[in-house]
Each structure stands twice: as structure tokens, then as C-alpha cells.
Amino acid sequence: MRLHTQEWGTGERLAVLVHGIMADHRTWHELVPVLTDRGYRVLAVDLRGHGASARGAYAPQLFAEDLLETLPRRPELALGHSLGALALALAVEELAPDRAVYSEPAWRLSGSQGTLDPALFTLFKRSPRLLRSFSRPPENARPAAAPPATSTTPPTDDRPRHNRPTGDRPTGDRPAADRTTDAAQLSARETARIAAERQALDSWDENSALALSSYRLVDHTPKKALVRSLVQASDPSLLVSTEMRAELVRRGFEVRTVPAAPHAIHRNHFDAFVTSLSGWL
């Protein structure tokens, strides 16, 4: 199936983005300007059953075949989240990106403990408020710094330009007007995020989750890293356990964690998401 794609930028570098279940290309609305500012042309797909792409049968291999039918070979960067990371891993040998980033990959659809069932995601379709509650980080969670698990803390310059602090003053020492502006920006970002989630949920075919339920006990974890590969995981993670992270390192992956972040790191802890990708964008 040829997928609906959205394109931004005119740079000579190419990045391809693959969203997770219940989402679509709009989930990357904050990442796109970061990439285009770095000289990328960005292509983001809507997986089958999501966004503006067609409906059909659903299986991990079909999601991967769609990527190969739709995307150009040898992009500089390929990034997939959750289900998108599963599809990307199955397609990566033929897609042949220079670098592959797998954010919270759903290589085991039942989760690291074998207790998840994709069929349960249909509940979010019936109750969008439940999705917002599920995706919001706990109020008592500490702010997500992003010291990578296998390298030193990334440099400050890799934070998105529009979210870098003014000078080196702590937030409490900054003028009240600056803090008010920051709060307004955060509110606008949250509003945009919720709107994108709701629009994607409305267009999502929940039959995809029901079909994926039959694959929940299949382990799709790659045997080895076929290209230069990074796994980004929240800590703790329902999908990438501590033991799995260690095994992935043995298989040739670099692994980095983002503490106290929810599953959709790029949506809920965007600055930490970008910081933890230092050297990969």
C-alpha cells in the first residue's frame, strides 16, 4: 500500500518519520522545524489505518512493506515511535538509512512483562479523555533530564532553539514577563498536542489494534543492528525493560533513556526527547 505522506523543507538531507499506533504524521509537529532548521527535507507517513492512508489488513510485516513501497531508499535519518519503530525495524535492511532511531519500540507488542494487549487501545477510541489521562506524565514526576544511558550528557546546543532558556539564570531569577511568556508557550504547545492527538484518534481505524492483538506474543526484537541504530526508552518503560536494554547493547544498538517520561517522549517531554538524540539528528 502506498501511504499518505506529508513533506516539509527543501534541504539536501532526508529524514523519514514513522508514528505509533493511534497517531499520524501530525504527532511530529514540534520535531519538524528542528529538522528543517538542520537542513533536512522531512517525510512523515500515515501508517495504514491511520490519518489519510487507506484501510486494509493489518500485520507487522504489512506495515513494513508499506514503508518500502512509499519511502525513498537511503535517507540520512529514519525515526520511528512505538508501532512505527516496529515497522521501521522490519523494513530497515532494504530502506538502508544512514542512521535509525527507535523511540520506545513496540518490538514486543505485549510489553516487556507480557501483560499488554493492543486490543485495549480501542478503549481510547471510545474515550478520548482516557487517552489524554494516559499520555500525560504524572504530576509528581521529576522533570525529564536526558543523560543518555551509554554516553555523556548531550551539549546544551542540541536543545530546540525556540525552547532554550534566556541566559544562564535559573527560572526563578528571570523577569516575571519572561516566565509568563514561557507559561503561555507551554500552554500553546499543550493545546496543539491535544488537538493533534484528537484528530489522529478520530481518523484511526481501531481494527488495526484488534488485528495486532494476535501478534502480541511474537518477539520482533532485531537480532542485530543492521545500520547505525539508537534505541530511545523512557525510564521506566513498559516496552523496553532494563534487561532488554542490556541485551540490545550486546546486539549492537546504542541505548539511551529519558527518566520520568511517558511512552510518547516526543509529545510529552519534547525538549528531553531532542536532547537525548544529540549526535543522531
Q: Residue 33 and residue 9: Cα distance in Å, rounded? A: 9
Q: Return the amino acid letter for 78.
A: A
Position 119 in a domain: yes
* Residue 76 counted as domain residue: yes
Helices (H) and strands (E) in the chain, counts: 10, 7
The range of the structural domain enclosing residue 239 comes to 5-275
Residue 76 pLDDT level (bands cut at 50, 70, 90): very high
In a domain, 281, yes or no: no
Whole-structure pTM over 0.85, yes or no? no
- Asked, for residue 122, whether it belongs to a domain, the answer is yes
Place of cell 527560572: 171
pLDDT band at residue 146 using 50, 70 and 90 as cut-offs: very low
Residues 213, 143 contacting (CB under 8 angstroms): no
**38 and 281 in contact (C-beta within 8 Å)?**
yes
pLDDT tens figures, 241-269: 999 999 999 999 999 999 999 999 999 99
Please tell me the total count of domains within the chain. 1
Supply the CATH number for residue 159's domain: 3.40.50.1820
Asked whether residue 81 is assigned to any structural domain, the reply reads yes
The answer to whether residue 280 sits within a structural domain is no
Q: Does residue 73 form part of some domain?
A: yes
Q: What is the pLDDT of residues 186-196, one digit of tens each?
A: 677 777 778 88
Provide the CB-side half-sphere exposure for 223 (13 A, CA): 1
**In a domain? residue 133:** yes
Per-residue model confidence as pLDDT tens digits over 94-104: 999 999 999 99
Backbone φ and ψ for 78, nearest 5 degrees, come out as -125, 125
